[in-house]
Structure 1
Amino acid sequence: MISLLVVGSIVLAIILGYKTRINIGLFAIAFAYLIGCFGMGLSPTAIIKMWPLKIFFIIFSVSLFYSFATINGTLEKLAEHLMYRCRNVPHLLPYAIFATSTLISGLGAGYYTVLAFMAPITLLLCQRTGMSMIIGAMSVSYGALAGANFMSSQSGIIFQGIMMNVGISTEQAFINSIGIFISTAIIPVLVITSLIFFTKHRHNMQHSAFNIEVPTPFTREQKTTLWLTIIMMALVLLAPIAHLIAPHNDTIAFINSKMNIGLIASLFSVIALLLKLGDERKAIASLPWGTLIMICGVGMLISVAIKAGTINLLASWIGTSIPSYLVPVAFGVVAAFMSLFASTLGVVTPALFPIVPSIAQSLSIDPMMLFICIIVGAQATAISPFSSGGSLILGACPNEKSRSKLFPQLLFRAAPIGFIAALTYNLVITFAI
């Protein structure tokens, strides 16, 4: 009975968040308190301890450092320079949009930040060049997602944190995140290539000519910010990669054991402030507080579900009701459906990742396969106008007319194309590996 109540509360939190536009995490915290304390007899202190402090600290610290690149204009300037480079090959513009979005997102801007300033640029280019808004929207969304999934970027860090919370080792979580990043980088290239060369896009843009003004040079602060970002990414990535290559080297093992991306990012934030690369108050104000509340709030409710045995019950049902060879694909389909209306980071991964270890163990499936299928499925429909990503793209439309035109295209063309591509990919890796 309690398990059914917990599942119902998760669904209700998503519905209420969507209908009222109030952060889903706040509803999740309320339900965690009511069900945990009054339905299960837990103490208020026990409920408060379910706040995922480790994940919160990592997201907070990393986002704080990367916010300097946003507020001092480094990322926007980088986008301008990269777009300027491709002005002579207009029909390949979607690749440039995808690559630019991936790079900037991978440098730490995160999915929502990249969409916030790349989506308006992309839709403006669609108007000026005749490029399909569907191709433009999918290129920028796919790029922002793929880059954010990079091991040292926002989503990649969140995925690793949730994996470690459900019992996956730090080393294995890092390896899993590499698999997720590679998968979510391959699919967009295949989809964009198909849209460019097997639709009217290439013909429409073959003789297109558009002008992009020569961007101004990087300032001293922006150059320093870029170098700091590259150094931090190198520190975060080199130690675990070196440990994977030479697991028995004591020196590398010692250094790797002292690496923590949250603490490293905090150190680099102090360096950025000492170098006056941005205003402290603006940096803190630009943090993704809504995402933090959503992830941690849903995390509390999921912890209540684990305590109630709901996760084990759900894992047992999946293990006995679905053929084992279809379980990864089924996870991808469920994640895709959830992502039509809810956030991948805030809802889908906190809800589905905890089920993976027990399912993988009982059915002898590689957990990485399940994690990849979940993210591939979830991000396939992130462009839906009902999801946070799609709504940001709609909000970037220059006028109501283009917004009304783009809405059905995102819902009935972009989301289905993404879903079919993800389903195909998940089927291939399920039966091929």
Structure 2
Amino acid sequence: MSAPQILSLVLLVAVLVVAIRRRMNIGVLALAAALPVLAYSGFDPKIMYTTFPGDIFVLIAGVSLLFAHLERSRALEVFVDRVYAAIGDRHGLLPWAGFVIGAALSTAGAFSTAPIAFLVPMVAHVGVRSRRMFLLSELAVIIGANSAGLSPLNPTGAVVRAAANKVGVTYSGWGLWAVSMTVAVVVVAALQALFAVARKRGHPVEATPAPAAAEKHDTPSNPWYMAASGAALLAFVLLVVLAKTDVGVTAMCLAALLQIGFHRYADERALLSRIPWNSILLLCGLLTYLGLMQKIGTMDSIAHILRHLGTGALLILVIAYLTALLCNIESSTLGVLGLMMPIAFGAFAHTGIVFWVTAAICVPAALMVMNPIHVAGTLIIGNTAHDEQDRLFRRLLTLAAALAVITPGLLSLIPIALL
């Protein structure tokens, strides 16, 4: 490695340490770290800006605006209410309803934080009438929504795909999504069985919804705006899947048409506030810095070192477990995968097991979102009765830790067996 490459790697580690210890945005720190790398390497800053992920930026912003219209028009609320009304007293189906809705929204392209933030309070409202299913229903929602984020239409899936494209790797995007959803279904089913066993043995692990969850405030809506928002979502999926139009630009176009047609009901400031600007800054800043590292040859040097170490079982396990660990201590799954996948693809790009290595790394990472230091875990705790929140914090932390230990190892067995 050359001196500029070593400096860029050292600064990347420093960025991660400071971001975790100080709870700072990785994107801000990464862009700040670019200055000494540029100065020491002598590269023109314009070269770094060519690595800015403009397509990812448009994708996240466009899809977020489109789903903001679905929220604003109350189309999502009406749909979710009808689903839960149809279930009625069949309480065993409540977790699966939330799972399917959250997974469907993320699969269609919603940045997973959006359906989670929308659905967790709604599930808490439903949980008032079925206390024993409240916690499991909340967990099912976030597992379904985040696991479905590996859809090719979703920003998370797009980040993984972009990392693969940079090194010429091809894999089945929908295949990765299918593996992720299969594992998610198994995890939710296992949790449902464990909760039932604990209840029968007199050690229930349920939680009580907060009293505020029983309250629901109706807001006026326009039926035409509601119908148009639903039609826009359907058009979005059809255009992207069948006509192969660009995901971000398609979402932005449909969101703009809704804004033009229903500006009286769609306040622009409210819509723009639904765009996850922190996540956009995190991801774009980190990927720009990683792009700079690619330009000066750091990523190639890392891949060369890893190839000398071998592409065997140990390397698969190290990358898979390191990713799960980082996802537990850093709140952005998207950012962690943006960091780790270039390394994984660099090491396994020219092997026949690259798809299963990708699954072993990405699928467990999506499950860590229930960690109580993450947004999703915090939302669950915030919608739980105050006197139970400390106990629930420990349970969620234990559950996230258990999944971080079990799932990377199990999924790594497949690529290891194929070596």
What range is the shorter-chain TM-score in?
0.7 to 0.9
Residue 70 of structure 1 is matched in structure 2 by 71
Selected match of 1:374 from 350, 357, 361: 361
Q: How many residues align?
A: 403
Contact 1:91/1:201 (<8 A) preserved: no
Residue 33 of structure 2 is matched in structure 1 by 31
Are 1:221 and 2:208 matched, yes or no? no
Structure 1 gap segments, 5+ residues each:
240-255
Residue 157 of structure 1 is matched in structure 2 by 158
CA 1:378–1:5: 2 relative to 1, 3 Å: farther
- In 2, distance between residues paired with 1:393 and 1:168? 40
Residue 251 of structure 1 is matched in structure 2 by none
Are 1:385 and 2:372 matched, yes or no? yes
Residue 243 of structure 1 is matched in structure 2 by none
Residue 181 of structure 1 is matched in structure 2 by 177
The 5 Å alignment of 1:236-247 reads 236-239=240-243
Task: Look up the equivalent residue of 1:317 and give its one-letter code.
Answer: I
- In 2, distance between residues paired with 1:49 and 1:236? 26
- In 2, distance between residues paired with 1:261 and 1:117? 22
CA 1:419–1:391: 2 relative to 1, 3 Å: farther
Q: Deviations over 1:259-278 (max 9, x none)?
A: 32222223212321233172
The 5 Å alignment of 1:301-316 reads 301-316=289-304
CA 1:203–1:89: 2 relative to 1, 3 Å: farther
Task: Look up the equivalent residue of 1:27 and give its one-letter code.
Answer: L
Residue 330 of structure 2 is matched in structure 1 by 342
Contact 2:31/2:288 (<8 A) preserved: yes
How far 1:232 moved relative to its partner?
Answer: 1.2
Residue 246 of structure 2 is matched in structure 1 by 260
Contact 1:84/1:215 (<8 A) preserved: no
Are 1:192 and 2:194 matched, yes or no? no
Selected match of 2:13 from 7, 11, 24: 11
How far 1:412 moved relative to its partner?
Answer: 1.3
- In 2, distance between residues paired with 1:310 and 1:21? 26
Residue 410 of structure 2 is matched in structure 1 by 424
How far 1:74 moved relative to its partner?
Answer: 2.0
TM-score (norm 1): 0.82
Residue 245 of structure 1 is matched in structure 2 by none
- In 1, distance between residues paired with 2:152 and 2:291? 25
Task: Look up the equivalent residue of 2:49 and give its one-letter code.
Answer: I
The 5 Å alignment of 1:297-336 reads 297-336=285-324
Task: Look up the equivalent residue of 2:181 and give its one-letter code.
Answer: A
The 5 Å alignment of 1:55-204 reads 55-123=56-124, 125-126=126-127, 128-131=129-132, 135-164=136-165, 166-168=166-168, 172=170, 176-200=172-196
How far 1:221 moved relative to its partner?
Answer: 1.8
Structure 2 gap segments, 5+ residues each:
none
Residue 49 of structure 1 is matched in structure 2 by 50
Q: Tell me the SS of whatever aligns to 1:119.
A: helix
Contact 2:163/2:345 (<8 A) preserved: no
Contact 1:16/1:22 (<8 A) preserved: yes
Q: Deviations over 1:97-153 (max 9, x none)?
A: 211221233344321112212223334555653336653443122111133332223
Are 1:397 and 2:383 matched, yes or no? yes
RMSD over aligned Cα atoms: 3.2
Q: Deviations over 1:221-260 (max 9, x none)?
A: 2222112101210110124xxxxxxxxxxxxxxxx5xx32
Task: Look up the equivalent residue of 1:78 and give its one-letter code.
Answer: F
